[in-house]
Amino acid sequence: MVQALQRTAVRGPTFIRLLARLTDADVPASRQTLPDRLSQWLDWAHALALSTALDGRPAHDPEGPSFGSEDEEECARLRASLAQAVASDPVLAPATPAEDDAAIEYTVFRQRYLTLQRRMQAGTGHLRGRLRDMLARQSVDMARLAEVDAVMELALSPREQMLLAAVPALLGEHFERLRAASPAGWLEGFRKDMQSVLLAELDVRFQPVEGLLAALRTRQQRSHVEESA
């Protein structure tokens, strides 16, 4: 108990705090600022592309469908669908009375995590690109923001995917710790923990989408004000 009280409180998104709790990791707070950390993640080619996006005047083509409530509803449906896929996954369903916890291996859970993870990646990636295309048609400033988002996705996605790919292994260690420490009932707790991690990862993957949606909403509201003036 004393050791637990002495652990450093982990700050950050729910996803990070949840993983730190499940892995019993003592994660020291970073002393680097965000710009310092980004400077390590962006190579010169990415830095040049980002500078060009920020300083240039991107092409603005107003042709094409505008952003509307149906697009917001589609984003909400996708998020709800992905969350439901996690909640209703048969591998993560409550145990049956005949299930033997000791006979179950982590392999089946690892495969389900990877499958759901790929589904989230594909869905949010496609949606992010579609919203970015819409944003680029709003105005020159919005087109610049869309270009910056594209550059940041290209630069940071490999690192993001590398870090997220490590999650199944961390959950595997949690699985084995629970099995060794609990004679019965531990598998039900693990299933709930895995669902919580998947839903927290879904939140992380939707953050860029939410940012683009916020920009589109702002532009839409401004347009309505200008039209009514």
Q: What is the pLDDT of residues 126-166, one digit of tens each?
A: 999 999 988 888 888 888 888 889 988 888 888 889 999 99
Which residues fall within 8 angstroms of residue 202, CB to CB, at 6 or more apart?
A: 79, 82, 83, 86, 120
Domain contains 52: no
Selected residue with higher pLDDT from 88 and 12: 88
In this prediction, residue 173 carries a pLDDT of 94
Number of domains in the chain: 1
Comparing CA positions, the residue from 162, 167, 192 lying closest to residue 86 is 192
Q: Are 58 and 143 in contact (CB under 8 A)?
A: yes
Domain contains 26: no
Q: Is the pLDDT of residue 3 over 70?
A: no
Residue 184 CB burial class (10 angstroms; 0-12, 13-18, ≥19)? exposed
Comparing CA positions, the residue from 13, 202, 24 lying closest to residue 113 is 202
Q: Is the dihedral of CA 138, 143, 147, 149 positive or negative?
A: negative
Range of the domain at 112: 105-229
Q: Are 191 and 94 in contact (CB under 8 A)?
A: yes
Pick the range with the lowest mean pLDDT from 79-83, 102-106, 170-174. 102-106
In this prediction, residue 82 carries a pLDDT of 97
Domain contains 202: yes
Domain contains 67: no
Domain contains 9: no
Long-range CB pairs of 76-82, under 8 A, 24+ apart, other chains included: 78/123, 78/124, 78/127, 79/202, 79/206, 81/123, 82/119, 82/120, 82/123, 82/202
In this prediction, residue 8 carries a pLDDT of 47
Q: Is the pLDDT of residue 38 over 80?
A: no
When computed from its CA atoms, the radius of gyration of the chain, rounded to whole angstroms, is 22
Q: Is the dihedral of CA 216, 221, 224, 226 positive or negative?
A: negative
In this prediction, residue 221 carries a pLDDT of 67
Query: Where are the extended beta strands (E) located within the chain?
Result: none
Domain contains 56: no
Domain contains 174: yes
Domain contains 130: yes
Q: Are 196 and 92 in contact (CB under 8 A)?
A: no
